[in-house]
Structures are given as C-alpha cells and as structure tokens.
C-alpha cells in the first residue's frame, strides 16, 4: 500500500527523563524554594499525563547551543542563537515532548488535520499572491482615473511587492517566538485592512501607501510558510506540502491580473472600475483571516509546549512548570541585531543562499515581468480586449500546477535514493537540485518558444499560450526546489533564510515590471527580442542547480547556519 505523502513520521518514543539534582543542598521544591540537607523532603513527582515529559534540571544545568556546532535541535527547543539572553531555569519543571511520537507534535497530526491546515496556509498564500497582482489587470483604468502614465500605474501594483521585502524581517522572527498562527492571522487581517484603504482611496498617494503597507503585512505567509512546513512535515514529505505553498506563491500572481481585469471590465462609471478588484481582495482577505482565526492550530513546537506549561500552572498551582520558550527574554536590541541583521548577514556569508537567491529572484520576477508584458503582446499587438488579453495567465497557472505536481511525484525518487544510500533520517539536500535542473531546462525552452511564436511570427495565439505553461512549469520547479533546499539545510534558521530570499526577490519582482513596457516596445519585433533576452538570461543561469548538485555538500560543511552533516 502506497504511503501517504502527508503521513506522520513514526519513531520509537523516548522514555521520560527527570534529571537528578547534583547534591542534597541543591534540591528544589516545585515552588522554587531551596531546602537544607537535614530538612529536605523529596520533591513530589508531577503528574501531568502519559503524553507529557517533565525534566527537573540541576542547578547548573544549561543547554549549550551555538551556530558553530550546527547541532540539530529537538522538537520544542528554541535555538539560543535565535533569542535573547535566557532567564535562569534552575528552579523549574521543564515541559517537553514525551518522544518523537508525541501526538502534540505537529508532525504527528492525523492525515485529515494536516490536509486542512495545509489548505488554510495555502489559501493565505494565495490571497497574498493575488493581492500583489490584482492592480496589474486594472492598471489602465487606474491610470485613466488618476491621469497618470502606464509606468506610474504599474508602480501602484509594484508597491505591494516592495512591501513583501520588509514583511519577513518582522513576521519571520515573530513566528519563531510567538508561534505561527497569530502572526499569520494578524498579518492577513491587517493586509486586508490596507486593501480596503486602497479600494476607497481618493488620491494616488493613498493608493501607493495602502498598497505598500498591504504588502508588508501580506508577506506574513511567505515569512512563516517555510518554518510552518518544517514544523508539520517530516523531511521526507516536506516537498509534498511545499508544493501547495509554492503553487499558491506563483499561482496567485497569475490569477490576480485575471481578477483585476475582470472586475475592471464591469464598466462602472465614476472611476470605480479599478476599485472592484481591490474590494474583491478585501472580501477574500476577511474570509481567510476568519478561517485562520477559527480553524488554524498552532504547529510550532515551543509554542505548543508553552501553552501546555500555562495549562499545568493553572491546573496544579505549581508555577515552576515552564517550557523553553518561557525562558526567552527579548529586547529591542535583540530584535534589531538578531532578526533584522541576520537575514542580511546570511545573504552575504552563505554562498549557497546568495546564488540560489539570485536565481530564484530572477525566475520570481519573471512572473511580474510577464504580468506587464502580456497586455502589450496580446492587447496592443494582437488586438485583444483587456479581459481577453489577461486570459493567457490561466495557462501560466496550469503550468504552475503541473510544476507542483512534478515536485510531489519526485518525492518517490527522492525516498528511493535515501533508502539506497541509507540516509532516510538525515536526508541528502543536494538531491533537490535534480528537479530544479529540470526546471532550469524547461524555463529557457518555454521562453524561447514564447518569443518566437509571438504576433510577429504566428497569427494564432495558441502556440505562445502553451509556451507560457512550459515556462511557468520551469519557474515553479526552480522556485519550489529552492525553498525546499533552504528548509533542508537551515532547519531552525529557515525563516531567516527565506526572509533574505524574499528581500531580494521582492525588490526585483517589484522593480522589473516598471521598465518591462519600454523593453517590449523598444526592443522591437513586437516583443520577440524582449522575450528572447529573458530566455538568454535564463539560459545563462541554467547551470546553477547542476553546479550546486556537485559542490553543495562542501559548501554546507563550511556554513555557520546549516545543521550538522
């Protein structure tokens, strides 16, 4: 019987451990008072259920962790490098998972629950993607209403993507301390509020500010998603979950222009045509925020244990119960130095992260470049209406789904390789570059195909529409495998790595469309040479996954953030 890609990992549970104090004089009661050797009574053993494990550390007990050691953390532990100075925990009962098969561990959630939770975070990511592109389909209407040119109208769309660059620097660290649910829910809700501001705006400045702040808060799914899938999925199956996340990341921007153009075509007078797309995004966002609030469960181990410790303190009256996350002490300096500086430092000190980020940022920006180019190629050069010229984006969405499906199927090849090499537990991250290599081939093929089947070469639009699906399939393979690789090698630092990646790709994704119109029109041949230029660039970058497939392990060994080999 085939194993479900969402199946929980099964491991032998570890027996509860309760650490013995070093000396009688150091014995501690649960209330934290120290007893003398002559009068000390045995501390009562806490009774908190068979699924709970409590350790009582000795007075000098300290868990050492450093990025130099690159040791793999246990579920529920907070990396010391991620947080500020730890409070003294010499007089506390620590609540930890009872073993790898503890049902509270998100990796052990039932299949149905994993499917529902994955659907929720996929829906949140889809909202962010669609919101980032909805104005593109109505850029002409927005430009006419505010009497601005096409570049300024496209800037209104790009402002949301620019906001993506800053969002992960806030939401990534918050999710590592506060958990995944609340930062994600609050981010989507506040992003929706600024979509309402944009929809009701009476001047262009209000539109620009609303779009930018909407992007800052709308980046929450991108900042939290990578860490969430690491929480919920065993490394063998993480690519199956990430497939939905990546499809939403790339598919949302493909569907956004279709929605924007469709609502703008309603023909409402009074300058409201472009607003309807934003009202749709606002309504969609409120629904998503409500579903997250009601149905999403916390998946971050430290936060789960922190909630359990609160319950024990409340029910037993023993205030010494704590989880490791309760020992975190954050200051403004910690946030600035560790959560803002770290992603940038990783970007400049991690060669693998730097190169894959540049490659992923280029392919991600292609989504927004096509968003600006297709209305010109199909609208101006082929004479299609605003709505019809946006329909080829549906082909791009089909290619996105196909790429996600290929990554899910690749799970069986990946598992077979690990079984053959005897590395089912530790994994082989460089195997992720094989499907990425397929994407590196499909992308230039699709772009060359699209370039030379344009309006200057063929009267039928269908060859170029099919080419879009091929190119988009390559984009999703490259992007998704890059995300999975970062999760594989950085584990507890995944959110910081993705924040660095998002910072770069958001600037490129927001900036490139601003000159796409001029590039398509000025390079000539009705868009042929503009698309061919992009194809040549993608061809030049195509060797990236093949090179890292051979040297990735050596670079990981020198990393200060990668877990132990």
Whole-number pLDDT of residue 156: 92
Per-residue pLDDT tens digits for 492-544: 677 678 878 888 999 999 999 999 999 999 998 888 999 999 999 999 999 99
**In whole angstroms, what is the distance from residue 497 CA to residue 24 CA?**
46
Identify which of 165, 158, 164 has the alpha carbon closest to the alpha carbon of residue 207.
158
Q: Do the beta carbons of residue 472 and residue 404 sit within 8 Å?
A: no
User: Is residue 84 scored above 70 in pLDDT?
Assistant: no
Whole-number pLDDT of residue 43: 41
Top pLDDT among 317 and 1 is at: 317
The count of residues in the chain is 565
Q: Which of 10-14, 196-200, 246-250, 306-310 has the highest mean pLDDT?
A: 196-200
**In whole angstroms, what is the distance from residue 400 CA to residue 245 CA?**
11
The pTM (predicted TM-score) of the whole model is: 0.80
Whole-Å CA distances, 341 to 14, 172, 348, 438: 37, 13, 11, 34
Residue 239's pLDDT band (cuts 50, 70, 90) = confident
Per-residue pLDDT tens digits for 417-462: 999 988 887 788 899 999 999 999 999 999 999 999 988 888 899 9
**In whole angstroms, what is the distance from residue 107 CA to residue 127 CA?**
26
**In whole angstroms, what is the distance from residue 348 CA to residue 353 CA?**
8
Whole-number pLDDT of residue 112: 92
Tally the C-alpha atoms within 13 A of residue 115's C-alpha that lie toward its C-beta. 6
Residue 79's pLDDT band (cuts 50, 70, 90) = low
β-strands 321-322, 93-97 pairing: parallel
User: Is residue 42 scored above 60 in pLDDT?
Assistant: no
Token representation of residue 26: 């150091």
Whole-number pLDDT of residue 46: 44
Top pLDDT among 273 and 84 is at: 273
Whole-number pLDDT of residue 325: 81
Top pLDDT among 407 and 41 is at: 407
Please give the average per-residue pLDDT across 12-33, as a whole number.
38
Per-residue pLDDT tens digits for 252-294: 999 999 998 888 887 555 567 889 999 999 999 999 999 999 9
| Three-class DSSP labels, 535-549 | HHHHHHHCCHHHHHH
**Lowest pLDDT segment from 9-13, 388-392, 419-423, 550-554:** 9-13
Whole-number pLDDT of residue 248: 93
Top pLDDT among 287 and 14 is at: 287
Going 496 to 499 to 501 to 504, the CA torsion angle's sign is: negative
Please give the average per-residue pLDDT across 400-416, as a whole number.
92
- What angle do the packed helices 150-178 and 111-133 form, to 10 degrees? 150
Please give the average per-residue pLDDT across 178-203, as a whole number.
94
User: Is residue 564 scored above 60 in pLDDT?
Assistant: no
Token representation of residue 544: 């990236």
**In whole angstroms, what is the distance from residue 244 CA to residue 229 CA?**
11
Residue 134's pLDDT band (cuts 50, 70, 90) = very high
User: Is residue 184 scored above 60 in pLDDT?
Assistant: yes
Identify which of 362, 392, 532 has the alpha carbon closest to the alpha carbon of residue 449.
532
Residue 128's pLDDT band (cuts 50, 70, 90) = very high
User: Is residue 59 scored above 50 in pLDDT?
Assistant: no
Identify which of 47, 260, 43 has the alpha carbon closest to the alpha carbon of residue 142.
260
Top pLDDT among 489 and 90 is at: 489
β-strands 93-97, 52-55 pairing: antiparallel
Whole-number pLDDT of residue 387: 86
**In whole angstroms, what is the distance from residue 113 CA to residue 117 CA?**
6
User: Is residue 200 scored above 60 in pLDDT?
Assistant: yes
Whole-number pLDDT of residue 40: 36
Residue 2's pLDDT band (cuts 50, 70, 90) = very low
Please give the average per-residue pLDDT across 66-92, as a whole number.
49
User: Is residue 319 scored above 90 in pLDDT?
Assistant: no
Q: Do the beta carbons of residue 107 and residue 9 sit within 8 Å?
A: yes
Whole-number pLDDT of residue 285: 96
Whole-Å CA distances, 532 to 148, 367, 457, 478, 538: 30, 15, 13, 19, 10
- Who's near 490: CB < 8 A, 6+ residues apart? 496, 497, 561, 562, 563
Residues of the chain with pLDDT > 70, as a percent, come to 80
How much is the CA Rg of the chain, to the nearest whole Å? Answer: 26
**In whole angstroms, what is the distance from residue 181 CA to residue 421 CA?**
37
User: Is residue 27 scored above 60 in pLDDT?
Assistant: no
Whole-number pLDDT of residue 75: 59
DSSP symbols for 395-445: HHHHHHHHHHHHHHHHHHHHHHHHHHHT-TTT--GGGGHHHHHHHHHHHHH
DSSP state of 336: I
Q: Diameter of the chain by CA atoms?
A: 97
| First and final C-alpha spacing in the chain | 32
Please give the average per-residue pLDDT across 247-255, as a whole number.
91
Whole-number pLDDT of residue 330: 66
Residues of the chain with pLDDT > 90, as a percent, come to 45
**In whole angstroms, what is the distance from residue 126 CA to residue 123 CA?**
5
User: Is residue 386 scored above 90 in pLDDT?
Assistant: no
User: Is residue 1 scored above 50 in pLDDT?
Assistant: no
Per-residue pLDDT tens digits for 347-375: 888 888 999 999 999 999 999 999 889 98
DSSP symbols for 241-282: HHHHHHHHHHHHHHHHHHHHHHHHTT--TTTTTTHHHHHHHH
**In whole angstroms, what is the distance from residue 35 CA to residue 33 CA?**
7
Whole-number pLDDT of residue 396: 92
All structural domains of the chain, each given as residue ranges with its CATH number in brackets, are 106-299+333-552 (1.20.1250.20)
For 96, phi then psi, to 5°, come to -135, 170
Average pLDDT, the chain: 81
């Amino acid at each position: 019987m085939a194993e479900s890609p969402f199946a929980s990992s099964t491991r032998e549970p570890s027996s509860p451990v309760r650490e013995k104090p070093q000396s009688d004089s150091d014995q501690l009661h649960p209330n934290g008072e120290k007893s003398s050797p002559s009068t000390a009574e045995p501390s009562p053993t806490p009774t908190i259920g068979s699924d709970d494990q409590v350790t009582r550390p000795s007075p000098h007990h300290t868990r050492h962790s450093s990025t130099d050691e690159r040791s793999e953390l246990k579920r529920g532990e907070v990396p010391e490098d991620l947080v500020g100075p730890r409070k003294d925990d010499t007089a506390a009962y620590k609540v930890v998972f009872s073993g790898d098969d503890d049902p509270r561990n998100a990796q052990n959630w039932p299949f149905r629950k994993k499917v529902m939770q994955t659907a929720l975070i996929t829906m949140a990511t889809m909202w962010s993607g669609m919101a980032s592109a909805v104005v593109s389909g109505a850029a002409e209407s927005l430009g006419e209403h505010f009497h601005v040119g096409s570049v300024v109208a496209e800037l209104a769309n790009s402002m949301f993507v620019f906001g993506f660059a800053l969002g992960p620097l806030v939401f990534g660290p918050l999710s590592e301390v506060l958990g995944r649910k609340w930062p994600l829910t609050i981010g989507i809700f506040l992003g929706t509020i600024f979509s309402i501001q944009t929809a009701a705006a009476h001047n262009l400045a209000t539109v620009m500010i609303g779009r930018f702040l909407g992007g800052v808060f709308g980046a929450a799914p991108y900042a939290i998603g990578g860490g969430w899938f690491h929480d919920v999925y065993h490394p063998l199956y993480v690519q199956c979950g990430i497939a939905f996340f990546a499809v939403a990341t790339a598919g949302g921007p493909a569907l956004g222009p279709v929605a924007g153009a469709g609502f703008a075509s309603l023909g409402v007078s009074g300058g409201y045509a472009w607003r309807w797309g934003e009202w749709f995004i606002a309504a969609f966002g409120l629904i998503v925020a409500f579903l997250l609030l009601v149905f999403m469960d916390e998946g971050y181990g430290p936060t789960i244990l922190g909630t359990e410790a609160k319950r024990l303190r409340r029910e037993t009256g023993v205030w010494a119960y704590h989880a490791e996350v309760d020992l975190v002490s954050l200051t403004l300096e910690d946030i600035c130095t560790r959560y803002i500086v770290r992603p940038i430092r990783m970007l400049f000190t991690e060669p693998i992260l730097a190169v894959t980020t540049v490659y992923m940022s280029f392919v991600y920006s292609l989504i927004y470049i096509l968003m600006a180019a297709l209305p010109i190629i199909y609208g101006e050069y082929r004479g299609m209406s605003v709505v019809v010229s946006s329909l080829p984006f549906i082909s791009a969405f089909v290619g996105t789904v196909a790429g996600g499906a290929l990554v899910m199927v690749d799970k069986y090849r990946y598992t077979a390789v690990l079984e053959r090499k005897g590395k089912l537990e530790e994994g082989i991250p460089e195997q992720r570059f094989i499907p990425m290599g397929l994407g590196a081939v499909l992308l230039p093929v699709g772009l060359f195909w699209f370039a030379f089947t344009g309006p200057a070469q063929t009267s039928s639009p269908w060859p170029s529409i099919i080419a879009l699906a091929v190119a988009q399939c390559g984009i999703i393979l490259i992007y998704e495998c890059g995300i999975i690789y970062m999760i594989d090698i950085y584990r507890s630092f995944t959110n910081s790595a993705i924040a660095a990646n998002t910072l770069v790709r958001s600037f490129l994704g927001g900036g490139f469309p601003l000159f796409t119109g001029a590039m398509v029109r000025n390079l000539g041949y009705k868009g042929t040479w503009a698309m061919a230029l992009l194809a040549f660039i993608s061809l030049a970058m195509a060797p990236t996954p093949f090179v890292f497939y051979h040297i990735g392990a050596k670079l990981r060994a020198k990393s200060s953030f990668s877990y132990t080999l």
